Amino acid sequence: MRLLVIGAGATGGYFGGRLAEAGRDVTFLVRPSRAERLRATGLRIISPHGDVTLWPRLVTPDELNTPFDAVLLTVKAFSLEASLKDFAPAVGPDTMILPVLNGMKHVDILTQRFGAPSVAGCVCKVAASLDEDGRIHQLAKFQSLIYGEMDNVQSPRIKELDAFMQGSGFDAKLSTDIASEMWNKWTFLAALGGITCLMRGTIGDIEAVPGGVDFAQRFLDEVVSIVRHVGVAPTDAFLTDIRSSLTAKGSPQTSSMYRDLQHGSRIEADQIIGDLLARGQKAKLETPLLAAAYAHLSVYQNRLVTPQ
């Protein structure tokens, strides 16, 4: 199997790098500037699972001219539309696109552009960041890719992908209900992102103040109320786990959106919070905390476009 990884940032660089380290046939589609740096310094991963420097196969958008068996799409959700033209030559009649973007809106966009048969479901779980020198830092030990056909069929191609992923230095799982996995991740990210960004603190910071636990619980309740109406409802066991995670005493946990906000970077507010809010409003649900979080993040986004 030949895999094209779109992007060599924190997520794509990490999983693609581990696959390349394990000897898999991996190529990275990157911008010319990123290609120049990687050719000069290598793809460098700093991780509790072991540091590594790799010299992977690279291709820029102008050089891409052949289909791949699978495409691992790791761009930020706000960069999806711009990336479609770049990787389109890699999508042939039998190519499987594996997007690890947040939310669910990207599934509609990819399906419209490439057709439903081309789009599989995929969820990644990793905490990683890219430093000023282009190195990938894994911030916590968890690292997994979960994937499956959107119709849950155990197709030959998804079984081939599973064999490709196994034994590559991270947890790989073939799911029989990938839509549930994707909605669960969105539920968690929307709650974690909204809670930490609106309160501008870690989970431990929020838990420690008067009303902090109640706020976190109410925010999660609003998110879940929407998901139950428009998506795949989470199980009781899943909700018990994330309630505990979102109210843990002394927890240093934050969301990637909060970390991006702190660094003055672009954020995925529209895809993680805004799209969920819009689906809830369409279902005529009242979610004032979610609306407040989206308004708060929209002010930040607007200032990035028009500095004050």
Q: Are residue 138 and residue 205 in the same domain, yes or no?
A: no
Per-residue pLDDT tens digits of the chain, which is 308 residues long? 999 999 999 999 999 999 999 999 999 999 999 999 999 999 999 999 999 999 999 999 999 999 999 999 999 888 999 899 999 999 999 999 999 999 999 999 999 999 999 999 999 999 888 898 999 999 889 999 999 999 999 999 999 999 999 999 999 999 999 999 999 999 999 999 999 999 999 999 999 999 999 999 999 999 999 999 999 999 999 999 999 999 999 999 999 899 899 989 999 999 999 999 999 999 999 999 999 999 999 999 999 876 54
Please give the pLDDT value at position 129: 86
Q: Are residue 14 and residue 130 in the same domain, yes or no?
A: yes
Q: Are residue 172 and residue 185 in the same domain, yes or no?
A: no
Number of compact structural domains in the chain: 2
Residue 170: partners with Cβ closer than 8 Å, 6 or more residues away: 15, 18, 126, 143, 144, 145
Last residue of a domain, one of 176, 197, 217: 176
Q: Are residue 129 and residue 226 in the same domain, yes or no?
A: no
Cα separation, 41 vs 135, in Å, equals 9
Q: Are residue 147 and residue 37 in the same domain, yes or no?
A: yes
Cα separation, 20 vs 72, in Å, equals 13
Q: Which residues of 270-302 are buried (b: 16+ CB within 10 A; e: fewer)?
A: bbbbbbbbebbeeeebebebbbebbebbeeebe
Tokens of 69: 């068996």
**CATH number, residue 189:** 1.10.1040.10
Q: Are residue 223 and residue 75 in the same domain, yes or no?
A: no
Q: Are residue 47 and residue 151 in the same domain, yes or no?
A: yes
Q: Any alpha helices (H) in the chain, and if so which ranges?
A: 10-21, 32-41, 80-87, 105-114, 156-165, 178-199, 203-207, 212-230, 236-246, 256-262, 269, 275-282, 288-305
Cα separation, 111 vs 21, in Å, equals 31
Q: Is 185 a catalytic residue?
A: yes
Instruction: Find out whether 274 and 193 touch, Cβ atoms under 8 Å.
Output: no
Q: Are residue 68 and residue 195 in the same domain, yes or no?
A: no
Residue numbers of the domain that contains 59: 2-176
Q: Are residue 10 and residue 146 in the same domain, yes or no?
A: yes
Q: Which residues share a beta bridge with 172? A: 145
Cα separation, 98 vs 287, in Å, equals 31
Question: For the purposes of burial, counting CB atoms within 10 Å of the CB of 190, is it exposed (0-12), middle (13-18) or buried (19 or more)?
Answer: buried
**CATH number, residue 145:** 3.40.50.720
Q: Are residue 169 and residue 187 in the same domain, yes or no?
A: no
Question: What's CA 8's distance to the chain center, in Å?
Answer: 14
Q: Which residues of 64-90 are buried (b: 16+ CB within 10 A; e: fewer)?
A: beeebbbbbbbbbbeebeebbebbebb
Last residue of a domain, one of 115, 142, 176: 176
Closest C-alpha to 102, from 84, 124, 86, 87: 124
Query: Do you know the residue count of the chain?
Result: 308
Q: Are residue 168 and residue 186 in the same domain, yes or no?
A: no
Q: Spot the catalytic one: 185, 249, 282, 284.
A: 185
Q: Are residue 8 and residue 149 in the same domain, yes or no?
A: yes
Last residue of a domain, one of 128, 153, 176: 176
Question: What's CA 260's distance to the chain center, in Å?
Answer: 14
Please give the pLDDT value at position 130: 87
